[in-house]
Amino acid sequence: MAKRHHSPLRTSRQDIEQSRRVQCTPQTEASAYTLAFSDEGFMTSEEMRGVRFQLEYQKIESWLREREVNSTIVLFGGSRIAEPGTDPWAAKTELAKKNLIKSSKYYTEARLFAQYASLTSKELDYKEYMVVTGGGPGVMEAGNRGAHEVGVPSIGLNIVLPHEQAPNSYVSPEFCFNFHYFATRKIHFLLRARAVAIFPGGFGTLDEFFETLTLIQTGRMERIPVILFGGKFWGRVINIEALVEEGTVSPEDVNLFTIVDNAKDGWEVVRKHYALNPIEL
């Protein structure tokens, strides 16, 4: 971990503590007297939105830099896909229940894929290829669980939502972050990404998939492995060939991602791309 530079100047924390010890008077109790950076009302005001964006980005960036996390393997996928043998809690219809039970196999594949990545990370002192997920249930839980099962830390980028989004118990506590803004969360998903694995999911998963493709297609992001798990599922949900036929994407854009059905094949795409050592589970 990087050593912090010692400064002889008083810290902001010291001043917050000192201000709390000042004699209680109408002046010191007034909102105007509160130090700006400890004034919750001011910091959460509309006028400070830009500052909050910066703070939300910088907190996680500083934390990961200090711990020398250089690269990650990103797992995206549905929060509603449950572990095999458990009740598909999100099913609203019998058909949805049937299909979620079928898709539960991708919970297992996400666990295994995360194990491949994490064992590779272990070889590199946890500085490279650390698993990162959205930190919630479903495929996200499976990814963090896979890392946990081989004794390797993993990252969870949680976000405050009305439902579905409490940190799963497998995220490493020291790497369990929380976001208000989707925008800053998306930056951190891809900032260190060396591969993106996308499992069956809903609107959020589609958003993350297409955003990654767009960044690569437009040259805003270097070409990295983008792996789509579940050929049958995605064949029903999206039709890239139709976009090619309509002329709205180029024929070569269909090569921006690779479709696989299991963790071993998915990790092999990553391993070959970066000439990594083989991993046996």
Q: Read off the pLDDT of residues 113-129 as tens digits, 9 standing for 90 and up.
A: 999 999 999 999 999 99
- DSSP label at residue 116: H
Tens of pLDDT, residues 228-254 = 999 999 999 999 999 999 999 999 999
Question: Is-above-0.85 flag for pTM?
Answer: yes
Q: Which residue in 106, 46, 71, 21 sits closest to 225, CA to CA?
A: 71
**For 219, left (φ over 0), alpha (ψ -120 to 50), or beta?**
left
Q: Is pLDDT larger for residue 213 or for residue 34?
A: 213
For domain 68-274, the CATH class is alpha beta
Q: Give the percent of the chain with pLDDT over 90.
A: 83
89: how many CB neighbours lie within 10 A of its CB?
12
pLDDT reported for residue 58: 97
Any idea where the domains of the chain sit in the sequence?
12-44, 68-274
Tens of pLDDT, residues 180-235 = 999 999 999 999 999 999 999 999 999 999 999 999 999 999 999 999 999 999 99
Q: Which residue in 76, 115, 70, 72 sits closest to 227, CA to CA?
A: 76
**Type of residue numbered 173:** P
Report the C-alpha gap between 50 and 109 in whole angstroms.
Answer: 39
Supply angle C-alpha 170, 173, 177, rounded to 5: 100
